[in-house]
Structure 1
Amino acid sequence: MPEIKVPELAETISEGTIAKWLKQPGDYVSKGEYVVELETDKVNVEISSEHEGILAELIVGEGDTVQVGATIAIIHEGETLSTNTEETTDSVEPNDLKKPLVNSTNKNEDIQMKPYERIIASPAARKLAREKGIDLREIPTVDPLGRVRKQDVVQVERKARNQETYATTPVTNQTGQTTAVDEGKSVERIRMSRRRETIANRLVEVQQTAAMLTTFNEVDMSAVMELRKKWKDRFYEENDVRLGYMAFFTKAVVAALKKTPYLNAEIQGNELLIKKYYDIGVAVSTDEGLVVPVIRGADRKNFAELEGDLVELAEKARTNKLSLHELQGGTFTITNGGVFGSLLSTPILNGPQVGILGMHTIQLRPVALDKDRIENRPMMYIALSYDHRIVDGKAAVTFLKKVKELIEDPELLLFGS
């Protein structure tokens, strides 16, 4: 019978995790219709069927890791699903899950079969339920004929494990010592998503391989705020998108990168790859963690185009609709912790990039205008983390000063400074 397999995704992706089955056994599937959502290190991908028919069997369950090219489901070509296309199923006695199963020809086992509540389950489901000590009567199934399959048992076992909140649980503290959570204290054990694992591993890898350093400056946001206030209504009417701060900072970053090209580079072996294009990554927070979609050719786009790209990419990120292309190949990253109220932070590099700009919350602070005058101004701290292996302090300070200059006099951005 036709099979649904994990397709080739990208050179750097060799496996993924089944995030969610969009179809269940017994459902009719059209050719090209999405049947499963696959979570990879970078993005969630929906896999479609290349065949038309009834979804006969799910080979793997949600949460399972699968390799590229692996078979994950079986399609029965036709409009009905006959019983001979399914795994061989047997009636099992619900109270005998932990005992060896026998058939009528086995004279050495003596298990009394009761005439009521006979549960239909596949051999794989029976075996797993017996190993896990799960009563088949407590397992919900989506099979149209009511048969319990292996993935149903896996789902119940995983749910029970995740919802176990009262236990004496070994915990490893920062010193590497193993301690125990006192019995009766509420805890929740949640498996890390593949994306969260990847983020964690890469952040640690960057800190271990790069000579990361952060330098700071502060920006008076008065001019940008006045400009936005003056033009925001007309800008929205003409472009159907709102004028935000990120477009100003993206423009300023591109101009600053042109003055400090080593911040738009990466290390490859014993060589520096200095990039003459400006694909700016913008960090977006999602429920699954931080993702960094990329604005291509940011140096060639006007404010409306930048804001339009930002809105589109942010929406795709939050709905898991980003493509691999939209996440790969950035040359520099901007992250805005200010939207969550962060006053100051040291952003971590998004390898293999060698620079990342951190924006922070806007706060009224007293600013000395001259030796006689002090005035409250809307100020923002900005932070540049950079790889000191190829970027010197002079270049880092020059970059931040350029960003500060352009944000405090945003009309300069109109001349492509």
Structure 2
Amino acid sequence: MGYIVRMPKLGLEMERGELLEWHVDEGDAVSGGETVVEVESEKSVADVDARENGVLLRVYLEAGGTVPPGTPIGIIAPADEDISDLEGEATADLEDQEAEPEAKPQKSAAEPAQASSSTAETAGSTGSSRTDDGGEISASPRARERADELDVDLTTVEGTGYQGAISEDDVEAAADSAGSEEASADDVRASPRAIQRADELGVDLATVEGTGYQGAIGAADVEASAERSDAAGSGGDARTLREERPFDGMRRTIASRLGESYREAVHVTVSREGDAEELLAAAEAADEALETDVSIQDVLLLAVSAALTEHPEFNATFEDDVHRLWEDHNVGVAVDIEQGLIAPVLEDVGGSSLTEIAKNRRELVERATSGEYTMGDLSGGTFTVTNLGVYGVESFDPVINPPQVAILGVGAIAERPVRGANDAPTWRRHLPFDLSFDHRVVDGADAARFLESLVSHVEDPWSLLPGEVPRSASDAGDATATETEMPGRRVTAHNPDGMGGRVEAGSFEWRYDEPEEAGGTETGPTPVDVFLGALASCLSLSIRYQAEKRDVAVGAIDVTAEGAPDRGSVEHIEPTVRLETDADDETIDRIVTIGERGCHVSQLLREDLELDLSWVRV
């Protein structure tokens, strides 16, 4: 039983499909399961197979045409079956479908077509046309196109295809015969229209290189030759074309999506870099300790996921004026393939172990580069990471992948000297980051805080790694590095008796106490004093970092954090920053303001900070 072949829907986001190639010609027999046509969506390529045995009786769409999913592109049926009902259905669907100009859907053979006395009309052409005496001409779409190109009257062409259908080869053979009869005495093969244009433009056909069948000269060849002659004679542009690459398929889709992104999103990019020594050391240690290959990118994805947890507004999409924050960290990993750049999605990075991330990322990239990726691999992303550092790029402005809110660009690792112990210079490797974000949804301060969190995890990624990965020293010249145990944001307060005690943080410790009136010995700082000290030290370092980042010369930085009242609950904190610098007031105000925003201890004062208090019986 016959059926209409339709453009398939390759994924939920598919809007149009392009017909890449018919694997059979109109009139050819096909077997069930045989590939009939190859099509491409915005993201993938697929074959359309015949559902059953039959003949490709009608073709409605030529190679290169694009139409929405569900549009009729052909009819397959037994050779002797009446397909008038199928043709009527296909014709009705095509009339309702507003296809792009390049789609050129063909009308059904059942529709009457007008014809001139010399050639069958090709605009909106049908599978067949009528001759002057009322008979029908059956010709493939490509045959009609070649007839138009070669100025061949289809009524003069003898078809050799199914039921006398005219093929492209039949048209070219007829053009060859006509050209031979009308060519000049030196036996140059040219179409009648080419001979006419050569006479009009004063072009010697013997100097024209034909691009038609078996080197036949067409009118376009004559006109191109005339243009080259004019350019050479006037001293104009005499360029030689090397290659023409049609702007279609996936490349066109990529261009469309990038254009959409820049038209819709308000792109802003902020940049900063982090010390990469610990990241590199962590990746090496994990690669040796775990039963899978671990790269720096895998550990970096852990750091990105940790930053997204702390700043969920970036793990989001923005559609229909709704900012949607997602629980899953589905991170797109940009991959360069022959057709262009795609971003297959690594799902649930936040809920995956480092071993799973490394394994899944490697498999995902392999599917992408081999062309075996699926629509599912490209869907559901909430954030994207693109790395041009592997090509030596130091910084760039990545384009947001809509409807996502942000994309992180990673540049090339660079080694530079920094001030070490006793002011001695030491060489450290640094990793640059460029975060592009949609300013309609998030602000620059939000982006700055995201990068601050990301860099903090990059510079100390060890707490993100599984317990079986031993910590190693990133600086071989630091003899104390392996002897020092960092707190890792884990602090224990011991209170053996009385109103005082001892704080342990890694291999560091200090005392805390209360005033005598509260039952203490007044021999150490109170817990509030300890907190104010943490705030002051955090502010001093954060402001120092901002000054160095902006090349602002600053000497000593003293921060006094004063809480009021003197006793009881703190109702007001007033930090005072003193800097030794010759910078102007505007510059000082900027580095102090941004430094306060980047201070993690200052952020602890947020009203929405979650505190999950628990207890156990000892």
Could you say which residue in structure 2 is the equivalent of 1:202? 257
1:385 aligns with 2:387: no
**Equivalent of 1:228 in 277, 283, 292:** 283
Deviation at 1:69, TM superposition (A): 1.9
Cα–Cα, structure 1 residues 127 and 391, in superposed 2: closer, same or farther, change >3 Å? closer
**Equivalent of 1:29 in 18, 28, 31:** 31
What fraction of aligned residue pairs are identical, expressed as a percent? 29
RMSD across aligned positions (CA): 4.2
Cα–Cα, structure 1 residues 303 and 231, in superposed 2: closer, same or farther, change >3 Å? closer
1:303 aligns with 2:351: no
Deviation at 1:11, TM superposition (A): 4.5
Partners of 1:27 and 1:308 lie apart in 2 by 46
- Residue by residue over 1:298-323, the C-alpha shift from the partner in whole angstroms, topping out at 9 and shown as x without a partner, is 21112222222222322332343332
Q: Secondary structure at the match of 1:396?
A: helix
**Equivalent of 1:219 in 269, 274, 282:** 274
Could you say which residue in structure 1 is the equivalent of 2:543? none
TM value normalised by structure 2: 0.51
Q: Counterpart of 1:149 in structure 2: which amino acid?
A: S
Q: Counterpart of 1:209 in structure 2: which amino acid?
A: E
Contact 2:18 2:65 in 1 (8 A): yes
Partners of 2:448 and 2:457 lie apart in 1 by 14
Cα–Cα, structure 1 residues 181 and 375, in superposed 2: closer, same or farther, change >3 Å? farther
Aligned pairs for 1:335-350 within 5 A: 335-350=386-401
Q: 5+ residue gaps in structure 1?
A: 89-98, 108-119, 137-142, 170-179
Partners of 1:183 and 1:23 lie apart in 2 by 41
Deviation at 1:35, TM superposition (A): 3.5
1:327 aligns with 2:378: yes
Deviation at 1:62, TM superposition (A): 2.6
Q: 5+ residue gaps in structure 2?
A: 84-107, 110-117, 121-130, 154-160, 173-210, 213-217, 229-234, 468-487, 489-618
Cα–Cα, structure 1 residues 64 and 204, in superposed 2: closer, same or farther, change >3 Å? closer
Partners of 1:411 and 1:165 lie apart in 2 by 66
TM value normalised by structure 1: 0.73
Cα–Cα, structure 1 residues 57 and 365, in superposed 2: closer, same or farther, change >3 Å? farther
Partners of 1:415 and 1:219 lie apart in 2 by 22
1:149 aligns with 2:155: no
Contact 1:168 1:182 in 2 (8 A): no
Could you say which residue in structure 1 is the equivalent of 2:147? 130
Q: Counterpart of 2:31 in structure 1: which amino acid?
A: V
- Residue by residue over 1:56-80, the C-alpha shift from the partner in whole angstroms, topping out at 9 and shown as x without a partner, is 6654333222332233344355xxx
- Residue by residue over 1:10-36, the C-alpha shift from the partner in whole angstroms, topping out at 9 and shown as x without a partner, is 4442321012445566474333x5443
Cα–Cα, structure 1 residues 371 and 19, in superposed 2: closer, same or farther, change >3 Å? farther
Q: Counterpart of 1:130 in structure 2: which amino acid?
A: A
- Residue by residue over 1:346-376, the C-alpha shift from the partner in whole angstroms, topping out at 9 and shown as x without a partner, is 1111122111111112222223335612222
Name whichever of 254-263 and 125-134 sits farther off. Answer: 125-134
Contact 1:167 1:183 in 2 (8 A): no
**Equivalent of 1:249 in 300, 321, 329:** 300
Could you say which residue in structure 1 is the equivalent of 2:243? 188
**Equivalent of 1:412 in 463, 482, 501:** 463
Contact 2:32 2:49 in 1 (8 A): no
Count residues in correspondence. Answer: 365
Could you say which residue in structure 2 is the equivalent of 1:50? 51
Name whichever of 255-264 and 388-397 sits farther off. Answer: 388-397
1:286 aligns with 2:337: yes
Deviation at 1:328, TM superposition (A): 2.0
Deviation at 1:338, TM superposition (A): 1.2
Could you say which residue in structure 2 is the equivalent of 1:266? 317
Contact 2:59 2:140 in 1 (8 A): no
Partners of 1:378 and 1:151 lie apart in 2 by 64
Deviation at 1:279, TM superposition (A): 1.1
- Residue by residue over 1:73-132, the C-alpha shift from the partner in whole angstroms, topping out at 9 and shown as x without a partner, is 44355xxx79x99x99xxxxxxxxxx758xxx979xxxxxxxxxxxx9936554322211
